[in-house]
């Protein structure tokens, strides 16, 4: 744990990507293959958490003499349970055993910790949990305990992306990046074999693996539209995914690199007739039962929440894949070919297999910027989120590359709302009130409408934080009720009826557009105005 905690601490302190890559690369070179595989697995957040933050907190409180309220004060201040516990280890009684035995425990390699130590903390036995945690905590320094607590509860958040890990592994092992990408995408086992297989050229590639996704950037203000260069498509609002057919088996992956095949039995069977060695990038959608068009995202969401996919559920919300791109055909990686070439191959494939559940994303026409904007408006009427603009010459890269794929969405809906509650953020934002609840007028009353976290500059955040501290009316645990004075313009992507908010409305992706310093609270918008947004023109 010592060496891994040192890596964790160094990564946390590094700001440049290149520095992080070299830290991780040095770690991979230095430790055993098994330790390196575990570190990669943990940094990619592949491990399911072994313990909830709540359980970690509870076991700590049971083992220490610290009053619960004081722990909560600390947690509110630190912003993170795992770190709070690590900083409070001095409040625990010393465990049995010698200093040497504690030292030896702390020095055990990561793989031994993961494979032999962690099972001592079973999910369903609180006494064993407490015994294991106290033994571990009394052997570790605060930074080591922090690393362990993060291993247990998940989510490292040290600014290490998947791409960064892949680069570090590729250069530490001296193998091609694309091989590492495939091995480290989707599910994999954190064993020494993972890395030894990568090094030996004869190892069979894992057949299930998707490719890393290429993501779009929001269109920038100074974008110049050249109809010849850009391929236009609708941007659908479903689950971005990859359909993989290799060695007789079909896999459906979500963009979050989650295997979602079991959720779509109605896709698996028909799509299995795709030829072996195929990888399609597309959108998984619920299809309308009345029109030949996608159903709203909510329909797909309801279906995903069902435990039992009964025939009635499948009939009510049949799934379909709208294909965007072709990444592999006949076992050959097409990603380095230009989009125009991949598109031609995709069209031929979709026509050849002729499956009702697989359609191709239509290519749209616009001769000018004006036509492009009209098309974007029309996209909404068809239930799409907006448009995608893809460079016809571009290769299929990795991640969010500027200037290759743009997304162009409709201007969001907006309202002016009053800030009523504030709460401290977590992680980077601990100690700063950054989580806000906004309200709208309903007659003479302000009713809560939406929560929003983002959209303000650091300067505005700091200013608002000061204001909140000075204008707190009441405190309810971590929540501050503030004077209803400040008005903010909120933007959101969709609005629906909801019983959860007092206003009776719920919005998707709310965010702060700007601070309306020019508006007094009484001039903020009303619930009635927001309700009018419920039924946008069809």
Partner 1 sequence: MALIDVTPEGLRCALGGFYVDPAASVDRAILTHAHADHARPGSVEYVCAQSSLEVLRARLGDDAKLVGLEYGERRRFGDVTVSLHPAGHVLGSAQVRIEHEREGVWVISGDYKRDPDPTCAPFEPLACDTFITEATFALPVYVWTDPRVVAKELFDCWRSERTHATLVFCYAFGKAQRILAHLAELTDEPVFLHGAMERLTDAYRRAGVSLAKTSPLPESASHKDYAGRLVLCPPSANRSPWMKRFKSPQTAFASGWMAVRGQKTRRGYERGFVLSDHADWPSLVKTVEETRAKRVLVTHGSSDAFARYLRESRGIDAAPLGHLYEGDEGDT
Angle between helix 192-199 and helix 162-173 axes, rounded to 10 deg: 60
Nearest residue to 448 via CA among 436, 457, 439, 435:
439
Does position 77 interact with partner 1 (CB under 8 A)? The reply is yes
Q: How far apart are CA 456 and CA 515, in angstroms?
A: 8
Q: Which of 3, 12, 177, 298 binds partner 1 (CB under 8 A)?
A: 12
Q: How far apart are CA 508 and CA 495, in angstroms?
A: 6
Q: How far is the CB of 479 from partner 1 (least distance, A)?
A: 16
Residues 112-141 that bind partner 1 (CB under 8 A): none
Q: How far is the CB of 58 from partner 1 (least distance, A)?
A: 18
Does position 92 interact with partner 1 (CB under 8 A)? The reply is no
Q: Are 408 and 386 in contact (CB under 8 A)?
A: yes
Nearest residue to 59 via CA among 122, 103, 114, 102:
122
Q: Are 357 and 409 in contact (CB under 8 A)?
A: no
Q: Nearer Cβ to partner 1, position 69 or 518?
A: 69
Q: Nearer Cβ to partner 1, position 148 or 184?
A: 148
Q: How far is the CB of 428 from partner 1 (least distance, A)?
A: 5
3-state secondary structure of 192: helix
Residues 17-76 that bind partner 1 (CB under 8 A): 66-67, 69-70, 73-74
Does position 244 interact with partner 1 (CB under 8 A)? The reply is no
Q: How far apart are CA 479 and CA 477, in angstroms?
A: 6
| Binding segment toward partner 1, per CB under 8 A, in 41-49, 88-96, 212-220, 397-405 | 88-96
By CB under 8 A, how many residues form the interface with partner 1? 27
CA angle 443, 448, 453 (to 5 degrees): 140
Does position 476 interact with partner 1 (CB under 8 A)? The reply is no
Q: Which of 53, 84, 231, 278 binds partner 1 (CB under 8 A)?
A: 84
Q: Based on the number of CB atoms within 10 Å of its own CB, is 443 exposed (0-12), middle (13-18) or buried (19 or more)?
A: exposed
Q: Nearer Cβ to partner 1, position 401 or 429?
A: 429
Q: Nearer Cβ to partner 1, position 17 or 32?
A: 17
Q: How far is the CB of 70 from partner 1 (least distance, A)?
A: 6
Does position 459 interact with partner 1 (CB under 8 A)? The reply is no
Q: How far is the CB of 202 from partner 1 (least distance, A)?
A: 42
Nearest residue to 510 via CA among 535, 528, 488, 531:
488
| Binding segment toward partner 1, per CB under 8 A, in 12-20, 175-183, 388-396, 441-449 | 12-20
Q: How far is the CB of 173 from partner 1 (least distance, A)?
A: 27
Q: Which of 35, 83, 257, 281 binds partner 1 (CB under 8 A)?
A: 83
Does position 79 interact with partner 1 (CB under 8 A)? The reply is yes
Does position 90 interact with partner 1 (CB under 8 A)? The reply is yes
| Binding segment toward partner 1, per CB under 8 A, in 81-89, 247-255, 256-264, 269-277 | 81-89
Q: Which of 1, 7, 11, 14 binds partner 1 (CB under 8 A)?
A: 14
Q: How far apart are CA 185 and CA 162, in angstroms?
A: 9
Q: Are 91 and 65 in contact (CB under 8 A)?
A: yes
Q: What phi, psi does 312 have (nearest 5°)? A: -65, -40
Q: What phi, psi does 31 have (nearest 5°)? A: -90, 175
Q: How far apart are CA 536 and CA 522, in angstroms?
A: 26
3-state secondary structure of 279: strand
Q: Nearer Cβ to partner 1, position 90 or 500?
A: 90
Q: How far is the CB of 450 from partner 1 (least distance, A)?
A: 25
- DSSP characters over 334-397: -TTS-HHHHHHHHHHHHHHH--TTEEEPPPB--SSHHHHHHHHHHHHHTT--EEEEEETT----
Q: Nearer Cβ to partner 1, position 283 or 465?
A: 465
| Binding segment toward partner 1, per CB under 8 A, in 13-21, 188-196, 268-276, 348-356 | 13-21
Q: How far is the CB of 458 from partner 1 (least distance, A)?
A: 9
| Binding segment toward partner 1, per CB under 8 A, in 85-93, 196-204, 291-299, 502-510 | 85-93
Structure tokens at 463: 């200013």
348 catalytic per annotation:
no
Q: Nearer Cβ to partner 1, position 58 or 191?
A: 58
Segments of 87-225 assigned E as strands: 214-215, 217-218
* CB neighbourhood size of 114 (10 A): 24
Does position 13 interact with partner 1 (CB under 8 A)? The reply is yes
Q: How far is the CB of 83 from partner 1 (least distance, A)?
A: 6
Q: How far is the CB of 424 from partner 1 (least distance, A)?
A: 10
Catalytic residue among 20, 150, 209, 235: 235
Q: Are 120 and 59 in contact (CB under 8 A)?
A: no
Q: Based on the number of CB atoms within 10 Å of its own CB, is 448 exposed (0-12), middle (13-18) or buried (19 or more)?
A: middle
Q: Which of 1, 7, 44, 88 binds partner 1 (CB under 8 A)?
A: 88
Q: Based on the number of CB atoms within 10 Å of its own CB, is 475 exposed (0-12), middle (13-18) or buried (19 or more)?
A: exposed
3-state secondary structure of 253: strand
Residues 394-453 that bind partner 1 (CB under 8 A): 426-432
Give the interface with partner 1 as residue ranges (CB under 8 A): 12-15, 66-67, 69-70, 73-74, 77-80, 83-84, 87-88, 90-91, 426-432
Which are the catalytic amino acids? 235
């Amino acid at each position: 744990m010592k060496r891994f905690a040192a890596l964790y601490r160094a990564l946390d302190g590094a700001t440049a990507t290149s520095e992080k890559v070299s830290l991780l690369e040095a770690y991979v070179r230095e430790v055993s293959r098994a330790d390196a595989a575990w570190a990669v697995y943990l940094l990619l957040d592949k491990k399911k958490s072994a313990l909830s933050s709540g359980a970690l907190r509870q076991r700590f409180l049971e083992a220490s003499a610290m009053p619960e309220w004081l722990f909560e004060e600390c947690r509110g201040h630190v912003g993170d349970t795992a770190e709070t516990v690590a900083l409070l280890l001095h409040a625990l009684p010393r465990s049995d055993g010698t200093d040497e035995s504690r030292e030896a425990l702390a020095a055990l390699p990561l793989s031994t910790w993961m494979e032999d130590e962690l099972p001592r903390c079973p999910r369903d036995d609180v006494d064993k949990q407490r015994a294991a945690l106290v033994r571990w905590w009394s052997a570790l320094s605060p930074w080591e305990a922090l690393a362990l607590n993060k291993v247990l509860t998940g989510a490292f958040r040290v600014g290490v992306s998947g791409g960064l890990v892949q680069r570090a592994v590729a250069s530490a092992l001296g193998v091609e990046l694309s091989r590492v990408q495939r091995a480290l995408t989707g599910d994999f086992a954190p064993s020494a074999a993972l890395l030894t297989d990568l090094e030996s050229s004869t190892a069979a590639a894992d057949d299930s693996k998707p490719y890393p996704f290429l993501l779009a950037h929001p269109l920038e203000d100074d974008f110049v539209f050249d109809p010849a260069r850009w391929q236009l498509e609708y941007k659908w609002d479903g689950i971005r995914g990859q359909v993989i057919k290799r060695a007789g088996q079909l896999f459906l992956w979500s963009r979050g690199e989650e295997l979602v095949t079991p959720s779509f039995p109605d896709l698996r069977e028909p799509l299995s007739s795709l030829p072996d060695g195929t990888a399609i990038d597309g959108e998984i959608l619920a299809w309308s039962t009345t029109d030949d068009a996608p159903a709203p995202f909510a329909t797909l969401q309801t279906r995903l929440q069902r435990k039992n996919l009964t025939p009635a559920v499948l009939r009510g919300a049949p799934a379909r894949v709208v294909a965007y791109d072709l990444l592999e055909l006949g076992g050959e990686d097409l990603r380095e070919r230009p989009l125009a070439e991949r598109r031609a191959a995709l069209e031929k494939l979709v026509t050849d297999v002729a499956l009702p559940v697989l359609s191709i994303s239509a290519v749209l026409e616009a001769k000018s910027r004006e036509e492009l904007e009209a098309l974007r408006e029309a996209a909404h009427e068809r239930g799409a989120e907006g448009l995608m603009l893809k460079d016809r010459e571009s290769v299929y890269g990795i991640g969010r590359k500027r200037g290759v794929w743009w997304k162009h969405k409709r201007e969001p809906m907006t309202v002016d709302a009053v800030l009523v509650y504030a709460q401290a953020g977590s992680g980077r934002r601990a100690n700063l009130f950054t989580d806000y609840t906004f309200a709208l007028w309903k007659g003479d009353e302000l009713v809560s409408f939406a929560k929003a976290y983002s959209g303000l500059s650091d300067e505005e955040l700091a200013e608002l934080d000061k204001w909140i501290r000075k204008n707190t009316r009441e405190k309810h645990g971590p929540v501050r009720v503030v004077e209803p004075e400040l008005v903010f313009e909120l933007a959101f992507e969709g609005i629906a009826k909801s019983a959860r908010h007092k206003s009776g409305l719920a919005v998707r992706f709310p965010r702060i557009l700007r601070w309306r310093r020019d508006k007094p609270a009484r001039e903020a918008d009303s619930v009635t105005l927001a309700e009018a947004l419920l039924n946008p023109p069809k």
